[in-house]
Structure 1
Amino acid sequence: MKFNVRSRGDHTSNVLTQRIKTYLEEFDLIYDEQEPDIVISIGGDGTLLEAFHQYKHRLALTSFVGIHTGHLGFYADWQPDEVEKLVIHIAKTPFKIVEYPLLEVVIRHTNDQETERYLALNECTVKSMEGSLVMDVEIKGESFETFRGDGLCMSTPSGSTAYNKALGGAILHPSLASIQLSEMASINNRVYRTIGSPIVLPEHHTCLLKPKSEGDFQVTIDHLTLVQKKVQSIQCRVAEEKVRFARFRSFPFWKRVRESFITE
């Protein structure tokens, strides 16, 4: 089996990275940065997001597992003092694959610029570079509303505990193939009106965002920030691809939620 190890870059993470690499090579596993079967992320959820985007072109072939060297994460659920146990599992135990849904974002332009397609593990956000964001929102090909406000956030179920939660969105279990649209400070009065609450779309529904006027937009795909010009539409839906996590033990999603937000 081929593996790669991604470090957050701090001293503790770098030391663990070298230990894991040495241990796994002693078990005759092959270190391969290009085509790994499994990627061990050491740091936090941000490190795993970076690893996901590095290997998004081979999601059907690569699985991820995370060791957190900071606070407990939703993707990094092993602790540093469990490194030896994890290494033995990777080397000796056939692991279970758990798949989570992803968000597909397709950005089309009004000029001859090529259509861009992105995958997000957590979320995509859209904001105007100047003033309020004004977007027509279509769901499944039908006009739904015209949004005016600070911005919009489209999240995956596994990403629903991140920016989406801060916006008042619901926490969704990752087994639900869906996406969630949440508003950022929408303008609601006698003239302008939006639904005013997050909405959850199933995998066979598409959400299309169309700018009401020309302008530049700030679009984020997880930790990546893009400036988009001449935008015709931003299309969001559940992606056909899924992210694969290597599970060697049970760690229920709601336990993660409780330990992250409730347990002291």
Structure 2
Amino acid sequence: MKFSIRSKGDETSNKLKHQIKRYLNGFNLIYDEDEPDIVISVGGDGTLLHAFHQYVHRLNDTAFVGVHTGHLGFYADWTPDEIEKLVIHLAKTPFQVVEYPLLEVTIRFNHDEEEKRYLALNECTVKNMEGSSLVIDVVIKGEKFETFRGDGLCISTPSGSTAYNKALSGAIIHPSLSAIQLAEMASINNRVFRTVGSPLVLPQHHTCNLKPVNDVNFDITIDHLFLIHKDVKSIQCRVADEKVRFARFRPFPFWKRVKESFIMD
């Protein structure tokens, strides 16, 4: 089996990276940064997001496993004192693959520029780059649902529903559900302007199109990636055909992670 390791870059994470690499080489596993069968993320959820985008072109062939060196994460389920146990599992135990849905974002332009397609593990956010209110039509399944006016919109995956989406009072969705969620950022609601005011959960067969009302530039994020796009015709969001694959060697209950992250001391 071929493996690669992505480190957060701090002293503790780098030390663990070299330790894991040495142990796995000792079991005759091959270190391969180009075509790994498994990617080990050492750091936190942010480190795994970077690893995901580094290998987004290999989602059918690469699985991910996370070691957290800080706070407990939703993607990193191993601790530094469990490294030897993890290494033995990697070297000796066939792992179970757990798949989570992803968000596909397709940006289309008014003129001849080629459309751009992205995959997000957590979320995509859309804001007006000029800093004024975002004014954009929300079209669901080909029919206009509303004209949104406010700071911006966040479209998240189920596994990303515990991140920025939760800060926007979005629902927490179990990642076994193939869905996306649309949450508002400070919408304007008065006698003139009106939005639904609640997060929307869309199933796999529903597509959401965001169509700008004004000719503005957009500040768009795809997870940790910051993008600026001009002359945008539409931003299409849907559940992606691809999925992210996680290597599981033991139970990692989602609701237990939610409880430990947000409720337990």
Distance in 1 (CA, whole Å) between partners of 2:217 and 2:75 is 33
Q: In structure 1, what is the Cα distance between the partners aligned to 2:127 and 2:236?
A: 15
Q: Which AA in structure 1 matches 2:85? A: K
What residue in structure 1 maps to residue 186 of structure 2?
Answer: 185
Q: Tell me, what secondary structure is at the counterpart of 1:82?
A: helix
Matches for 1:205-244 after TM superposition, within 5 Å: 205-244=206-245
2:256 aligns to what? 255
**Counterpart of 2:21 in structure 1: which amino acid?**
K
Matched, 1:144 2:145: yes
SS at 1:136 equivalent: strand
Structure 2-normalised TM-score? 0.99
2-side partners of 1:255 and 1:190: how far apart?
43
Tell me how far apart the structure 2 counterparts of residues 4 and 58 of structure 1 sit (CA, whole Å).
13
Per the alignment, residue 155 of structure 1 pairs with 156
Q: Which amino acid aligns with 1:174?
A: P
The residue aligned with 1:98 is: 98
The reply to whether residue 16 of structure 1 matches residue 16 of structure 2 is yes
Identity %: 75
> Shift of the alpha carbon at 1:251?
1.3
1:97 is aligned with what amino acid? V
> How far is the alpha carbon of 1:111 from its aligned partner?
1.9
Q: Which runs of 5+ in 1 are unaligned?
A: none
Q: Which residue of 2 aligns with 1:127?
A: 127
- Matches of 1:58 and 1:79 in 2, distance apart? 26
1:58-137, aligned counterparts within 5 Å?
Answer: 58-130=58-130, 131-137=132-138
Q: Secondary structure at the match of 2:209?
A: strand
Give distance in 2, aligned partners of 1:190 and 1:256: 42
1:129 shift after superposition: 1.2
| Partner Cα separation in structure 2 for residue 142 and residue 91 of structure 1 | 52
CA separation in 1, counterparts of 2:246 and 2:123? 18
Indicate yes or no: 2:202 matched with 1:201: yes
Deviation at 1:202? 0.2
Tell me how many residue pairs correspond in the alignment: 264
Looking at structure 1, the residues matched to 206 and 217 of structure 2 have their Cα atoms a distance apart, in angstroms, of: 27
Distance 2:113 2:66 in 1: 37
Aligned-partner Cα distance in 2 for 1:251–1:234: 34
1:255 & 1:200 partners in 2: Cα distance? 22
1:115-142 per-position Cα deviation (integer Å, ceiling 9, x unaligned)? 0000000000000012100000000111
Q: Take 1:42 and 1:138, find their aligned partners in 2: how far apart are those partners? A: 40
1:114 is paired with a residue whose SS is coil
Shift of 1:113: 1.3
Unaligned runs of 5+ in 2: none
Post-superposition, which runs of at least 4 consecutive aligned residues in structure 1 deviate over 6 A? Answer: none
Question: How many Å apart are 1:160 and its aligned residue?
Answer: 0.0
Query: SS where residue 205 of structure 1 aligns?
Result: coil
**How far did residue 71 of structure 1 move?**
0.2
Shift of 1:39: 0.3
Alpha-carbon distance between aligned partners in 1 of 2:127 and 2:214, rounded to the nearest angstrom: 13
CA offset at residue 212 of structure 1? 0.1
| Alpha-carbon distance in 2 for matches of 1:27, 1:204 | 45
Query: Which whole-Å CA distance do the structure 2 matches of 1:68 and 1:235 have between them?
Result: 33
Distance 1:58 1:142 in 2: 35
Q: Distance in 1 between matches of 2:146 and 2:2?
A: 49
Q: For residue 37 of structure 2, what is the aligned residue in structure 1?
A: 37
Measured in 2, the distance between the counterparts of 1:134 and 1:228 equals: 16
Distance 1:155 1:129 in 2: 20
Alpha-carbon offset, residue 112 of structure 1: 1.6
Q: Which residue type is aligned with residue 158 of structure 2?
A: P
Query: Matched residue of 1:60: which SS?
Result: coil
Tell me the CA shift for residue 261 of structure 1: 0.3
